[in-house]
């Protein structure tokens, strides 16, 4: 399955979290398409996690990788992104970098 999001899928709350946490629309799509299941999603909500190469600075510190987790619901057969979180670091457990 190749999930493609449209601008309307990125509501104000989601866009605010993306900006705050340094996550792009493309990273959210990659998480949805290539990521593993998030084990911390709440009941009725789904999540996908992906570890990406980063090799850049975030808030004044250099990081090798970025872990992006996207949480969503499914409504009328469509994915509805809810929020996103990011962690910066290296050697994250549970998944290889993609």
Local confidence pLDDT in tens for the 98 residues of the chain: 689 999 999 999 999 999 999 999 999 999 999 999 999 999 999 999 999 999 999 999 999 999 999 999 999 989 999 999 999 999 987 656 66
Rounded Cα distance between 46 and 34, Å, is 14
* pLDDT value at residue 93: 75
| Nearest in space to 3 (alpha carbons), one of 53, 65, 52, 46 | 46
Side by side, the strands of the sheet bearing 46-58 are 36-37, 46-58, 61-75, 78-89
* pLDDT value at residue 52: 96
Q: Where exactly are the structural domains of the chain?
A: 8-89
* pLDDT value at residue 96: 61
* pLDDT value at residue 94: 64
């Amino acid at each position: 399955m190749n999930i493609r999001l449209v601008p309307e899928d990125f509501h104000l709350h989601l866009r605010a979290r993306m900006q705050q946490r340094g996550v792009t629309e493309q990273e959210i799509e990659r998480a949805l398409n290539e990521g593993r299941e998030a084990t911390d999603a709440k009941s009725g909500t789904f999540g996908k996690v992906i570890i990406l190469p980063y090799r850049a600075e975030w808030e004044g510190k250099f990081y090798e990788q970025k872990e992006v987790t996207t949480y969503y619901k499914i409504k009328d057969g469509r994915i509805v992104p809810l929020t996103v979180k990011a962690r910066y670091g290296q050697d994250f457990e549970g998944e290889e970098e993609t």
